[in-house]
Amino acid sequence: MSGIHDLEQLIRVHPFSQGMSDEHINMLKGCAKNVCFRQGAFLFKEGEDAETFYWIRTGKVAMELHAPPKGTIQIDSRTAGDALGWSWIVEPYRWFCDARAVEEVRALTFNGVCLRGKFDQDPRLAHEMYRRFVPLIHRSLQATQLQLLDVYGAN
């Protein structure tokens, strides 16, 4: 994926878009941009407005929660080929955790406000994206539950 520079092609080759129609790829392109995060940079922080989501192209992102008195714990991670961030779908559209680049990350970012507007225009796109995001939400909730059991479980 790293040798491709055309935004449409970057979207088309990402595993999260496999099987999408050309029409839906084109609609996604209108809400997308290519981004890079240096190691240690935050993609988002807990409590901030969730207006974007990411398709990771290269690198690794750690999802972290602050768990007093334990401090910061990593609840999950995402790497090349993964999607990151589903809080843009669920009101009140706020991040429930931090996402930090463990190493340099190249990603596609999508404006969730833009995309929600496109959902109103094309309910088939909404269905397609929700169908793809529900397993991501499920995975995230399971990972969080397991980490919290490790941190706060019975001794």
Query: Which tens digit of pLDDT belongs to each residue from 133-142?
Result: 888 777 777 7
Phi and psi angles of residue 64, each rounded to the nearest 5 degrees, phi first: -130, 145
Kindly indicate the confidence band of residue 5, based on its pLDDT and cuts at 50, 70 and 90: low
User: Would you state the pLDDT for residue 152?
Assistant: 65
Query: Which tens digit of pLDDT belongs to each residue from 21-68?
Result: 999 999 999 999 999 999 999 999 999 999 999 999 999 999 998 877
Cβ burial 42-51 (10 Å sphere, 16+ → b, else e): ebbebeeebb
User: Would you state the pLDDT for residue 68?
Assistant: 79
Report CA torsion sign: 11, 17, 23, 29. negative
Q: Are 39 and 104 in contact (CB under 8 A)?
A: yes
- The overall average pLDDT reported for the chain is 90
Residue 155 predicted with pLDDT over 60 = no
- Classify residue 81 as left (phi > 0), alpha (psi -120 to 50) or beta: left
Kindly indicate the confidence band of residue 83, based on its pLDDT and cuts at 50, 70 and 90: very high
Residue 4 predicted with pLDDT over 80 = no
User: Would you state the pLDDT for residue 1?
Assistant: 45
User: Would you state the pLDDT for residue 151?
Assistant: 63
pLDDT above 70 as % of the chain: 90
pTM attached to this predicted model: 0.86
Structural domains in the chain plus CATH codes = 7-148 (2.60.120.10)
